[in-house]
Amino acid sequence: MATPTLSKTDKMEEAAAASPYITVTFRIRRFNPEISDEAQWQDFQIEIDPKERVLDGLHKIKWDLDGTLTFRRSCAHGICGSDAMRINGKNRLACKTLIKDINPEKPITVEAIKGLTVMKDLVVDMEPFFQAYRDVMPFLVTKGNEPTRERLQSAEDRERFDDTTKCILCAACTSSCPVFWNDGQYFGPAAIVNAHRFIFDSRDEAGEQRLEILNDKDGVWRCRTTFNCTDACPRGIEVTKAIQEVKRALITRRFCPLRGRRYEGPAPECVFRGGALARSGEHAPSVIADRRRSPLHAGRAGRARRRMGGGTRPGFAVERSSA
């Protein structure tokens, strides 16, 4: 008996039926300051497997349809944090967003994150974001001589700030915050998350300084607890909780008699460590200024000064740590 054979048309139909590809419309907000002061939406239709990511769709557009499309990406695997963008109105990482998860039957809107100046298409000026990050001193600060062995820390103490170590500085949280949209002077959730990571580290000795910096009118008290940041974080960090913990640390440190004063002479005995007052010292007689006059608490002027390199107090050995 003869074996049935498929015609060429049948084979093509069968292949089409088995093909995972679907046609998807990407609606991208384009901006090129060399062409126009106005941003405008542009549609692109591409064939894509729904199991692919939005980043793959952007690559197809850039490589096959329009080489001028501009966006950032580096690792393409959710590590570097460079491709945060607004996808269907929500801040997400393009490399972690699957087409099938965002209703590909409708046009997929892609635009730059909000609150930062758009330079071109999906690329924003990240400098204000990174300046706020630098302002909170995101590195280990210790006093005294370098130890001859590693600094020990219990598992419980490490657990205290484990969540905030996961930050990849993508800015999805900060650029989803309505307070940051309205006033770019606010430090923003990401800077507070990275301050939290060191404030609650039992090995660090500059928690008091960081709290002082965040006690600024542009600091933690600007947070309105809208939870946008927590929803936006691609690393699942409990951003709002971290901000609340920093607020609580600011309130509880009130019980430290030395807080908020600047002293001459020997270092105060008051120790603030791991997010709590570890030891309360005596009032030194040589109080020379209250907090409002401290150069570390001079609001925008203080931040500007820190931007120019005056970020750390004398007497602290500064050590950068990736731990």
Rounded Cα distance between 317 and 304, Å, is 22
Over the window 108 to 127, marking each residue x when it contacts ligand SF4 by CB under 6 A and - when it does not, the resulting string is --------------------
Over the window 81 to 120, marking each residue x when it contacts ligand FES by CB under 6 A and - when it does not, the resulting string is xxx---------x-x-------------------------
Quick one: which of 58, 99, 170, 206 contacts ligand SF4 (CB under 6 A)? Answer: 170
Shortest distance (Å) from residue 31 CB to ligand SF4? 23
Rounded Cα distance between 123 and 121, Å, is 6
Quick one: which of 94, 232, 249, 250 contacts ligand SF4 (CB under 6 A)? Answer: 232
* Residue 123 bridge partners (DSSP): 120
Rounded Cα distance between 174 and 129, Å, is 8
Quick one: which of 191, 193, 199, 296 contacts ligand SF4 (CB under 6 A)? Answer: 193
Nearest to ligand SF4 of 81, 274 (CB atom): 81
Judged by CB under 6 A, does residue 167 bind ligand SF4? yes
Q: Which of ligand SF4, ligand FES, none interacts with 213 (beta carbon under 5 to 8 A by kind)?
A: none
> Do the bridges between strand 22-30 and strand 108-111 make them parallel or antiparallel, or are there none, so unpaired?
parallel
Nearest to ligand SF4 of 104, 128 (CB atom): 128
- Tell me how many degrees the CA angle 305-81-216 measures, rounded to the nearest 5: 30
Rg over CA atoms, the chain: 25
φ and ψ at residue 124, rounded to 5 degrees: -115, 165
Q: Which of ligand FES, ligand SF4, none interacts with 79 (beta carbon under 5 to 8 A by kind)?
A: ligand FES
Instruction: Return the residue matching tokens 């002293």.
Output: 263
Provide the 3-class DSSP secondary structure of residue 40: strand
CA dihedral 162, 192, 231, 112 (to 10 degrees): -120
Q: Which of ligand SF4, ligand FES, none interacts with 190 (beta carbon under 5 to 8 A by kind)?
A: ligand SF4
Rounded Cα distance between 126 and 107, Å, is 28
Quick one: which of 29, 60, 62, 73 contacts ligand FES (CB under 6 A)? Answer: 73
Q: Tell me which residues touch ligand SF4 (CB under 6 A).
A: 81, 167-173, 189-190, 193, 232-233, 235, 237, 239
